[in-house]
Structure 1
Amino acid sequence: MGAEFSSAVKDAQEVPPFRREGPRYDMSTFVGRMLHFYSVNDPRTLLFTNEDAKSAERLLKLANIGEAPEGTTDAELWHARRVLESALHPDTGEPIFPLFRFSAFVPVNMVIVTATVTPAVISSFPATAFIHFLNQTYNAAINYANRNASNPVPRARLVEGYAGAVITSLSIGMLSTALTKKVAARAGGAGGPAAAIIRSTLPFLAVAGAGASNVLLMRRNELTTGVDVFDDEGKDLGKSVEAGKMGLMKCAAARVIWNVPVMMFPPIIMSRLERLRLVSSSPRLRMACETAVVTSCLLAAVSPALAFFPQRDSLAVDSLEPKFSGLSDSAGKPVTRVWYNKGL
């Protein structure tokens, strides 16, 4: 299994012929989607300068008219696209503030998540409230900066989604703090295994619950009016509420999936590392270890979680509303599956 996965990754990393539209990787496979999101979320793209972007833009313009410099490779053209797409909004073409790019998600959350799972924060009501407020504020900012500008969400809905996520996160976060204090008090201040379990599970519930509620509140129109579905030929068949429900369920599930290792693993790993005298006796080393653990979990979890479900997904017609039954394509063949954009 491991050898097959490694072989699939190696095959997917081969440089395909350059094209101006569409992703570089095969989005019909998990490996292709995973590599795509690793490329999008790569923090190293934050190091690209304005001059890099201008050079990339010049190269792509020349390539579009067939005048790219002699010897220009497909790899160089794909790199030029990556430089531009990492910094510009796909709909407006305007630069995105660096902290609100997808590539900044890991370095920013490296700080936020480390603070969220730190015992000193979990045991303090003010610190818990602040860190969960900060987390959801950042999530709202990055969602807005990378919004679908061709299908704008009303400002009132943005505010509702933000407020719902903050309330959910704060409520569960405060519960975490209260339970941690209660368990620690019963154990004479140490807390023991029960407190360790609380420290690893309730912050996860707070963050994952807030992320899921944010998606449901921000995109609740998909639950009432549905999303566009298409046949194999790309013909628009209308809107389906059932497809909208399935898409939102998978988007919410992805947030839960990546938060399992990101929020639950660091406290468990750190409880083991703290048994080492070198780590427990040095607050700076402990913080460095915790930051490294959180960063590793973020890098390992977010992109595969986003890749878990295809963005362009399909459903059997018999799982949709009755109005989609009995449809035929241009050749007169019955439509048995429909396609829709799940979103992220």
Structure 2
Amino acid sequence: MRRLSIVIILILLTILPQASTAYLSAGGPSAVSPPSFPDNEETRRLLEQTLSSAEIEKEITRITAEQAGLERKAEELRTQAAVKQTAIADRQERAGDIIRSYYTGERDGLLAAVLSARSISRVLALYDYYEIIIRRDHDILKEYEEDYKALKATLTAAERSSRELEELKSALQEQKIRVAALNEEIEGGIQASSDPESMSALLNEFTKYWENIGLHEVKIYFKALSSAMNRLPQFIQGREGALTRKGMTYNLTLKEEDLNEFLVSQNKLFKDFGFRFNDGSVIATGSSGGLTLTLTGHYSIQEEPVNGLMFHIDNVVFNGLELPESTRQDLEDEFDLGFYPGKIVSFLHATEVESKNGVLYVKLGISF
């Protein structure tokens, strides 16, 4: 009986199909290929518009959540202000009485009594009494001043929250108008296509791919790039001829082939990925599996909060499709691709940056 059971299990294992798996690797591109689409301008335009629509919808969701948070904060601040206003009323009245007493000379009698005392013990007793009253007056006025400042700060914060809330409402309305117009345009493009049903299905499929996989894939590269750029100063330190000195000025010369060699040494993801330093722009292109990525940007000098070369993303093309501006900005905010000369030598300070003919030139001054 036992042998029969084993035979049955073996037969089942043989005839049953194995489940296929698709997954995102921890450090590399996904095994899932993006949807294929006709390589024509109209389809490309619709796909880019669909990406923009999806990103605007995300922005609307974010703004809506932020608006709800601000509404709660504004209400809390108004409640706090009301409580503070009630609490301050009594101190305000007492402070007013004290100020009036000094203005009308009521406190002068106390000082006169101290000065007219005929014995040391009487002087000391009256002075102690006078000091207690004056100190108490001072404490009441100080408490009132602190309460007033706290109330004013709360009212200012509530007013600021209200302004921010109005700005958010305006931004939300603007985004809703944008996405409605964009969706209308997309729908028009779908209906104008030769096969509206297939086009609609393609756009839906691509949107899901982008939201679930595509954006994640792009972020894998950006994260790896950010991590590598953080270690670039050490590479430059050890690269002969990369940093030269002329008087009080240092010049950093980074060739694109040196940068690409460095990137590959940091992460094998960059084996098929390369940087080019063009006239005024930096272009990075690469591909892996079903993913192609082209990143165009430029460097500028930043002084605060720390001196460095900040990388600004001008354009990102994912699988032939230009990503929306909001996505580019989110990537720039999330991943720091900057370069900080102070990490090479603490007193170095970037003053000029230029890219041309395959080389990034950085002029550095000395700052203590």
TM-score exceeds 0.5: no
Task: Answer 1 or 2: which has greater strand percent.
Answer: 2
Provide the TM-score with structure 2 as the length reference: 0.24
Provide the TM-score with structure 1 as the length reference: 0.25
| Higher Cα Rg, which structure | 2
